[in-house]
Amino acid sequence: MNLMQYEPWNMLRHIKDDVDTLFQNNLLSGGKNLSSFLKNELWPEVDIEEKEHCYSVKANLPGMEAKDLNVHFGNGILTLSGELCSEHNEKGKNFICTERTSGSFSRQFSLEGVSDDAKIDAKFKNGVLSVEIPKMTSKAHKNRKIEVKSE
């Protein structure tokens, strides 16, 4: 039989490590931070697929319109942002329950050194934003806003 010294703080250290890992790996990825999480800001789900000649980015944005979205690329950073306003913000209405989300979001993804911002294409259809980012052929970077086309 092995005797081990009882250390009451060991369990708490493990819990702290698990919570730290949760925030580092999930909540803080893609530009999310703890203050945004606590404010309950919008947080669209995003998929980024690496293809042979480009990156394909898809973001679920139900209830939004192309005019409410902003897509920027510069210095290797893709920024997706927007604002969703719902009618429960209108004055003079007597809502009993409001569960639909409204607010703003901003997500950033680092694609430094692998894209050419001159040919970025952004489309919005049926609540899904699709952005195609060709891989870089030169090292030149520019800051610019990308127009989102509604289909």
Structure confidence at residue 87 (pLDDT): 62
Residues 108 and 59: their CA atoms lie apart, in Å, by: 12
Report how far residue 140's alpha carbon sits from residue 93's, in angstroms, rounded to the nearest whole number. Answer: 52
Task: Give me the residues paired with residue 125 across strands.
Answer: 128
Q: CATH: 3.40.50.620, 3.30.1490.390, 2.60.40.790, 3.40.250.10. Which one for 41-86+99-151?
A: 2.60.40.790
Domain locations in the chain as residue ranges: 9-40, 41-86+99-151
pLDDT for residue 28: 47
In degrees, rounded to 5, the angle at the alpha carbon of residue 46 between the alpha carbons of residues 123 and 55 is 65
Per-block mean pLDDT, blocks of 10 residues, the chain (151 long): 65 74 56 49 86 91 93 89 75 76 87 69 96 76 79 82
- Give the integer Cα–Cα distance in Å for 48 and 94: 41
pLDDT at 111: 83
Q: Cα(first)–Cα(last) distance of the chain, in Å?
A: 71
Whether pTM > 0.75 for this model: the answer is no
Q: What per-residue confidence (pLDDT) applies to 89?
A: 57
Q: How far apart are CA 47 and CA 61, in angstroms?
A: 12
